[in-house]
Amino acid sequence: MVLTWLLSACVVLRHRNDFFYDVDEGMLGESAERVMHGELPHRDFVDVYTGALAQLDAVGFRIWGVSIETLRTVLVIATLLWVPVFFWVALRLARPGPAAPWAASLVTLTAVCWSVPNHPRGMPTWYTLFFATAGTAAVLRYLDTRHRRWMWVAGMAAGVSCTFKIVGLYFIAAVLLFAVFDEQESDTVAGPPSPLSWYSALLDGALVAFCAAIAKMVANDGVAGIVHYVVPSAAIALLLIWREHTRAHAPPAMRAARFLQAVAPFAIGVLIPVALFLVPYVRSGAVAALARGVFVTPFRRIGHLALAPPPPITLLAALPILAAVGLIGRRVGTRLLIALASVAGLAVWAWHAPFTDATIHTHWEEFSRLLPRDVERGLIPLSLVIGAIALARGHTRTPPLPLALVLCVLATGTLVQFPYSLPQYFQYTAPLLILAVFALAPRPGTAVVAVGFLLFAIVRLEPRLGGRDIHDTAQLDLPRGGPRVAPNINARYRELRTIVRAHAQGEYIYAGPNSPQVYFFTGFRNPTPTLYEFFDDTTGRDARVLRAIDMRHVTAVVINNQIDSTSGPIDPPLRQALDDRFPLTRTVDNYEVRWR
């Protein structure tokens, strides 16, 4: 365990300053700094997430200073606390024996290399992964001891997760699905299948409604959305419905009592951190603003940041890996035939299908993109379908309850990739997938495949091995910097900061659209509640901005003329008003600094 933790720490620390993205890190920094100034997320500014992350980062700023490096330090500390928890879960899923710690170490290192080092920005979804892992460990302890306090601990983890980002609800859904499975598994009644009862009808309806809600949520992603988002949860739901109608059961009232005995302490655990988080909102009469910011405003993101998952052909790309692990095909020859047929099918598809990416110009590029980059995406729905079938048949290496728990967490956890299915969003889910495949896979060949995945992750991380152009990066040379960036990024923000500080007076400037990084890097405050303009109510927005500029006596503004800004260009009337009020100007890359 200690060696695993030390190796994980080395990997995380080596890459802690890689992969800089100015907008995200500026948004995190500005949110935390506004909290330091006494502002409350959603009441005083439009926080992109629930709000607890900004409060945590503000604590980090008070301890280590205001910088991007601090944001990443907080994430590194959280990651190093997560590693031993993940190791314990992997050890719990390993086959008992002297090799179990080594297998758990290999799985843990693979998960680490597929996660934070690839995207070491302090985004809240990392924290929801950490809390989901902690909650999974607590439920596993509940299975070992049947002490309900462990369900309370799992609920605490889920509740805190929701205060960081509302996708913590997905882990709550996973625990509820597992509680249904656990109740079914604890039923020792023998005999033919029981007739339909009110409990069974209620359960069927709830599971169908759950899957229908997911399908409605991802409807704009078409077939790809169904495959990558609906199929995982539907596989678990169908498993539960099948078990419900093919077994004998106790009286429905007794079953409902058993279910509630497990769920009640979990629900109490969820409510405690959520209630504590709500206290300042209740005191300031801002509960409605919080509810709107958490449950309504995020849906505006779907129209501006939506990106569909890879095409369903990625299922075919994943088959060779599943065959190598032993999840498909009983004999070696059959697995080899499946792998070869899958690769041949991919080649035929890549040759005849239209290109799926504007950057692809040849059929070979299309084929090579699908095989190494998108193959992991197809593993999630296929693994869950295979796992559900294995549980239905009763043929599993891992005991059914721990396996079902891990599969439920993965099935709902994969929804964090919606609506913006970039590769880094898969990395938020990758550790859960690795746990699920480890729990499902038979012993022979698993270690070899795990080593292969580990080596592939290392190649992706190391630029000299992975073939990435890193432009001779250097540390961002700003008082609030930290990460390594390309020389042009360094020059851009040094010059921008110099110009703004030479012409701005007072504490405030105005920057937009989508420019939280300008406020953070220059050290000036934002006179508006806006972080990203596409979250704003457009009615009367221009007037509100100009009123805020006048109220705060702003003397300099920064206009972001980036063509592909998700919020679009600045409104023409507002732009004209800014040009009139701030006639002097200077341009730095895509930024236009204006002052008077």
Domain range annotation of the chain: 486-595
Question: How confident is the model at residue 465, as a pLDDT?
Answer: 41
Q: Which of 97-106, 256-265, 367-376, 521-530 has the lowest mean pLDDT?
A: 367-376
Q: Are 366 and 347 in contact (CB under 8 A)?
A: no
Q: How confident is the model at residue 352 (pLDDT cuts 50, 70, 90)?
A: low
Distance CA 553, CA 311 (A): 51
Which band of pLDDT confidence, cut at 50, 70 and 90, is reported for residue 467? very low
pLDDT tens digits for 267-304?
Answer: 999 999 999 999 999 999 999 999 999 998 877 766 66
% of residues, the chain, pLDDT over 90: 61
User: Which pTM value belongs to this model?
Assistant: 0.92
Q: Is the pLDDT of residue 444 over 50?
A: no
Can you give the pLDDT at residue 397?
80
Of 212-216, 260-264, 444-448, which range is least confident? Answer: 444-448
Answer yes or no: is pLDDT of 504 > 60: yes
Average pLDDT over residues 501-518: 94
pLDDT surpasses 70 at 46? yes
- The owner of tokens 């279910």 is 259
- Report the chain's terminal Cα–Cα distance, integer Å: 61
Which carries the bigger pLDDT value, residue 126 or residue 459? 126
240, pLDDT greater than 80: yes
Picking from 6, 3, 4, 8, the residue whose alpha carbon sits closest to that of residue 115 is 8
> What mean pLDDT is predicted for residues 109-117?
90
pLDDT > 60? residue 364: no
Q: Give 185-228 pLDDT, tens digit per residue.
A: 988 777 788 888 999 999 999 999 999 999 999 998 899 899 99
Are 339 and 445 spatial neighbours (Cβ–Cβ below 8 Å)?
no
The three-state secondary structure class of 361 is: coil
Q: Is the peptide bond before 419 cis (omega within 30 degrees of 0)?
A: yes
* Mean pLDDT, all residues of the chain: 87
pLDDT digits (tens, 9 = 90+) for 164-193: 999 999 999 999 999 999 999 988 777 788
